[in-house]
């Protein structure tokens, strides 16, 4: 059934606003992380929680959106979600320490996670059949603009105002959105209020398991891994949480996340590759702004601009992938995407401290092509072997896996980065001794430079050593970033063979008709 409202375009604007806000907040934060890190005195591993907290809360809320929406009424639930998102956006802006920021981001994610699926459902009901394609096109535009311009907008706000403004900007938009929802959106009369049970136990166990895993990955390097009791406890908690969650979801009647679908080999394989995609994508989204700002000295806005080539390339690759899917097949497209990504990350692993914009542009562009090809073909193929009644649950599970692997990818990237910095610093420092001619010469040059700049003679030795230390540290960081990019490249390359096992039986399907259908 459909409800056609004369103000359907106002409904479209309303839900698009919500969609854009939620989509923006996934990427707008990343360019501001170095600034937040400075404000809160947080390490790279600690600041990951600003991203991963948001992602994981979306993972938790997503399986129960449909049930909550039908239980409380879609309109009411939508308003509540926007209000939650908006209020906690403001709180994120006034967060006083990392803990408060992370808590506010998690709750913000609960609100944000509902906006995109609800927006799509509302659009489908508002527009008549013959205008659905147009409505969905608008929706698609909103969804792609968010991540495309989020980093640039975030960078501009951070540079020209300060990082809290990337959250404050949601407040007036959210308030207007709520007013528009109240005025123009109604629940369709045929919407059935379901009183089904929510699988809170499953969600709790998932939160415990994944949460403990994330904390373990974040703290591991700092605590020297299993030398620390805290890490051991977290590992046990993560293991038990995940195992109990798995048992729960496989045995309960109405699981929050239907793990039984993983019996489908094609789906499991596709979800694995989805996990690889998530790990590679989110870890690069996280560390690239750090690299650009902290090592190359890019302002936040410029680091946001540097990410645009990827979005543009993705916008090109996705339609090409979609159109050629039936001819080329998922295996070729996914394998191509994985290989192209491997090349792009390999190029990033060859960067140095003297790179220019185009050295960043080209790998980013390649990345966009790679992600575009993988994403469209994988999202199509992974659900192709699932029966229609399980499609919603399967799509939800695929999203959950992607997001969880993405947040694990961020944590791992931060851990390897810190570990790499320490390791490479130790290696480099071994070569910085007075017994190597180049070292005293460099120190002498530095001393002369500092003196010529008017520095106090008595303090120049120390200043020169500090300068040398900073150079070594910077070089160590560069090598650490190279190392992380190389690992991501290897991950993609090693995943290429898996692409050839993915299939889509619906592709180019024959049209066998049963005789009796037409008698």
Partner 1 sequence: MNKYAAITVSRQMGSGGTYIGYQVAKALGFSYVDRQILRRAASLLNRDEVSLEEYEEKSSGLIQNLLRTFLLGTPETAYIPKERPIYDKDLFLLESKIINEIVDKHNAVIMGRCGFCLLKDRPKTVHLFIYAPRDYRTERIMKADSTADPREAQARIDESDRRRTKFIRDMVGTEWTDARNYHLCVDSSTVGLSESVQMVIGFVKKALG
Binding-site ranges for partner 1 (CB under 8 A) = 23, 26-27, 55, 58-59, 62, 113, 116-117, 120, 129-130, 132-134, 136-141, 143-144, 146-148, 277-278, 281-282, 285, 314-315, 318-319, 321-323, 326, 371, 374-376, 379-380, 383-384, 386-388, 391-392, 394-395, 398-399, 402-403, 506, 509-513, 515, 517-519
CA distance 126 to 146: 23
User: Which residue's CB is nearer to partner 1, number 125 or number 421?
Assistant: 125
User: Which residue's CB is nearer to partner 1, number 67 or number 455?
Assistant: 67
CA distance 484 to 470: 21
Smallest gap from residue 413 Cβ to partner 1 (A): 15
Those residues with Cβ within 8 angstroms of residue 280's Cβ, 6 or more apart along the chain or in another chain: 341, 345, 409, 488, 491, 492
Smallest gap from residue 230 Cβ to partner 1 (A): 30
Those residues with Cβ within 8 angstroms of residue 366's Cβ, 6 or more apart along the chain or in another chain: 313, 340, 341, 343, 344, 347
Q: Which of 363, 365, 336, 369 has the alpha carbon at shortest distance from 350?
A: 363
User: Which residue's CB is nearer to partner 1, number 479 or number 491?
Assistant: 491
User: Which residue's CB is nearer to partner 1, number 60 or number 95?
Assistant: 60
Helices 391-429 and 200-220 meet at what angle, rounded to 10? 10
CA distance 217 to 414: 9
Smallest gap from residue 109 Cβ to partner 1 (A): 9
User: Which residue's CB is nearer to partner 1, number 74 or number 219?
Assistant: 74
User: Which residue's CB is nearer to partner 1, number 263 or number 388?
Assistant: 388
Smallest gap from residue 129 Cβ to partner 1 (A): 5
CA distance 418 to 457: 35
Smallest gap from residue 302 Cβ to partner 1 (A): 20
User: Which residue's CB is nearer to partner 1, number 30 or number 86?
Assistant: 30
Residue 233, phi-psi category: left (phi > 0), alpha (psi -120 to 50), beta (remainder): alpha
Smallest gap from residue 98 Cβ to partner 1 (A): 23
Smallest gap from residue 388 Cβ to partner 1 (A): 5
Radius of gyration in angstroms for the set of CA atoms belonging to the chain, rounded to a whole number:
25
Smallest gap from residue 411 Cβ to partner 1 (A): 17
CA distance 496 to 83: 43
User: Which residue's CB is nearer to partner 1, number 297 or number 319?
Assistant: 319
Instruction: Kindly report the number of other CB atoms within 10 A of residue 419's CB atom.
Output: 17
Smallest gap from residue 170 Cβ to partner 1 (A): 17
Q: Contact 70/194 with Cβ under 8 angstroms?
A: yes
Tokens standing for residue 405: 């692997």
H-helix or E-strand containing 121? Answer: helix 98-126
Calculate the CA 124 to chain-centre distance: 27
User: Which residue's CB is nearer to partner 1, number 321 or number 363?
Assistant: 321
């Amino acid at each position: 059934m459909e409800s056609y409202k004369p103000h359907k375009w106002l409904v479209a604007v309303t839900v698009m606003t919500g969609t854009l806000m939620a989509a923006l907040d996934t990427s707008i934060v990343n360019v501001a992380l170095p600034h937040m890190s400075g404000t809160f005195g947080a390490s790279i591993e600690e600041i990951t929680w600003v991203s991963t907290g948001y992602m994981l809360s979306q993972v938790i809320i997503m399986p129960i959106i449909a049930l909550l929406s039908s239980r409380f009424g879609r309109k009411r639930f939508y308003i509540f979600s926007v209000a939650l998102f908006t209020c906690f956006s403001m709180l994120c802006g006034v967060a006083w320490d990392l803990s408060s920021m992370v808590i506010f981001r998690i709750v913000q994610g609960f609100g944000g996670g509902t906006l995109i699926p609800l927006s799509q459902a509302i659009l489908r009901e508002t527009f008549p059949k013959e205008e659905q394609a147009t409505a969905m096109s608008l929706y698609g535009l909103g969804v792609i603009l968010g991540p495309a311009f989020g980093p640039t907008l975030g960078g501009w706000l951070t540079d020209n105002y300060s990082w809290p403004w990337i959250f404050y900007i949601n407040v007036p938009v959210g308030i207007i959105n709520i007013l528009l929802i109240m005025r123009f959106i109604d629940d369709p009369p045929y919407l059935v209020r379901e009183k089904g049970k929510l699988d809170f136990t499953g969600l709790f166990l998932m939160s415990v398991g994944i949460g403990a895993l994330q904390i373990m990955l974040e703290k591991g390097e700092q605590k020297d891994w299993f030398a620390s009791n805290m890490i051991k406890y977290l590992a046990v908690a993560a293991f038990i949480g995940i195992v109990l969650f798995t048992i729960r979801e496989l045995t309960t009647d109405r699981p929050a996340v239907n793990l039984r679908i993983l019996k489908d080999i094609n789906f499991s394989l596709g979800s694995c590759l989805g996990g690889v995609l998530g790990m590679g994508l989110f870890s690069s989204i996280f560390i690239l702004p750090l690299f650009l700002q902290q090592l190359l000295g890019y302002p936040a806005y410029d680091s946001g601009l540097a990410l645009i080539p990827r979005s543009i390339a993705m916008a090109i690759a996705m339609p090409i992938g979609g159109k050629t899917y039936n001819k080329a097949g998922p295996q070729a497209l996914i394998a191509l995407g994985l290989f192209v990504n491997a090349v792009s990350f390999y190029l990033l692993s060859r960067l140095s401290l003297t790179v220019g914009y185009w050295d960043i542009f080209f790998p980013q562009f390649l990345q966009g092509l790679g992600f575009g090809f993988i994403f469209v073909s994988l999202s199509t193929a992974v659900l192709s072997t699932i029966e229609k009644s399980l499609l919603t649950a399967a799509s939800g599970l695929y999203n959950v896996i992607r997001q969880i692997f993405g947040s694990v990818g961020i944590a791992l990237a931060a851990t390897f980065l810190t570990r790499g910095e320490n390791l490479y610093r130790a290696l480099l420092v071994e070569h910085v001794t007075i017994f190597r001619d180049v070292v005293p010469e460099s120190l002498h040059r530095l001393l002369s430079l500092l003196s010529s700049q008017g520095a106090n003679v008595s303090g120049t030795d120390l200043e020169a050593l500090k300068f040398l230390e900073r150079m070594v540290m910077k070089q160590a960081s560069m090598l650490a970033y190279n190392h992380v990019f190389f690992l991501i490249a290897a991950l993609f390359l090693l995943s290429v063979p898996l692409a050839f096992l993915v299939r889509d039986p619906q592709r180019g399907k024959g049209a066998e008709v049963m005789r009796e259908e037409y008698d």
